[in-house]
Amino acid sequence: MVKLAFALLISYAVLMPAISRAESLRIATEGAYPPFNFVKNGELEGFDVDIAKALCAKISVECTFQAVKWEQIIDGLESDQYDLVVASMAYTKERAARVEFSAPYYRSHSVLIGDEEYQDSSPAALAGVRIAAETGTIQADYLKQAYGKSAIVLAEDQPAAHRLLIEKKVDLLIGDAIELLSFMETPEGAAFSYVGDPISSEFLQSSAHIAAKKGNAALISRINTALKDIKLDGTYDKINDAYFPFSIY
């Protein structure tokens, strides 16, 4: 009996990390993409973070958060540094080959912003114009494909891209319409306005997704169910209204 009890104790000790791991999720976000994710008083906050917390509550798991540079975020997911990425990630075929994507959890469009002197957003009209984007984004890739005659300037993150525009080191900035709207509502961004209409292109997806490691379809299935649940019970709308005066779903 003593040997059996000892064996059971050892088995329980071995299983405890796996049990604990199953009851918690490690979530990565960028922390430099307000109002979706940012650092305030040393803590990660924003729409993405609040949505992730709501999903964790819905599936009854504890969640921890970490800020990861955008260029490294998929690499970290692949190397098991975290379980989910909740960072306003748009779908691309290249990313889908490396991660499992959830259903969309919000939708937006890509736009150009700058001084009012710029009215035409077509590539021909902006030949020679300096345009900034955050490196590693779908907007940066689109600039290279469609605006090859413009002077493309890539920034480390979105706040750095904002600074390029503010400091007049570039003429225009391309990015997500909602994120740029929030920027234009700040004192530093108030001088800028949208240039032309939202960009319509097969290269620019208008939806954001949560990502898990490739092959972890079971986790994404749970996330998709939880997304439906927080939309139905009003949790999603409360989070939406805390950040935006209109629905972004």
Q: Is the domain of 191 the same as that of 233?
A: no
For 82, the domain range is 2-107+206-243
Asked if 199 contacts 110 with a C-beta cutoff of 8 angstroms, the reply is yes
The three-state DSSP-derived secondary structure of 133-165 is: EECCCHHHHHHHHHCCCCEEEEECCHHHHHHHH
Q: Is the domain of 160 the same as that of 179?
A: yes
How confident is the model over 134-161, as pLDDT tens digits? 999 999 999 999 999 999 999 999 999 9
Q: Is the domain of 92 the same as that of 215?
A: yes
pLDDT value of position 8: 41
Q: Is the domain of 159 the same as that of 224?
A: no
pLDDT value of position 205: 75
Domain assignment present for residue 249? The answer is: no
Q: Is the domain of 131 the same as that of 195?
A: yes
Q: Is the domain of 160 the same as that of 231?
A: no
Contacts (Cβ under 8 Å, ≥6 apart) of 180: 111, 113, 173, 189, 194
Whole-model pTM: value is 0.86
Domain count, the chain: 2
Asked if 249 contacts 106 with a C-beta cutoff of 8 angstroms, the reply is yes
How confident is the model over 96-126, as pLDDT tens digits? 999 999 999 999 999 999 999 999 999 999 9
Q: Is the domain of 76 the same as that of 168?
A: no
d(CA 68, CA 165): 24
Three-state SS at 190: coil
Q: Is the domain of 101 the same as that of 212?
A: yes
d(CA 216, CA 204): 26
Q: Is the domain of 31 the same as that of 78?
A: yes
Q: Is the domain of 231 the same as that of 195?
A: no
Q: Is the domain of 139 the same as that of 175?
A: yes
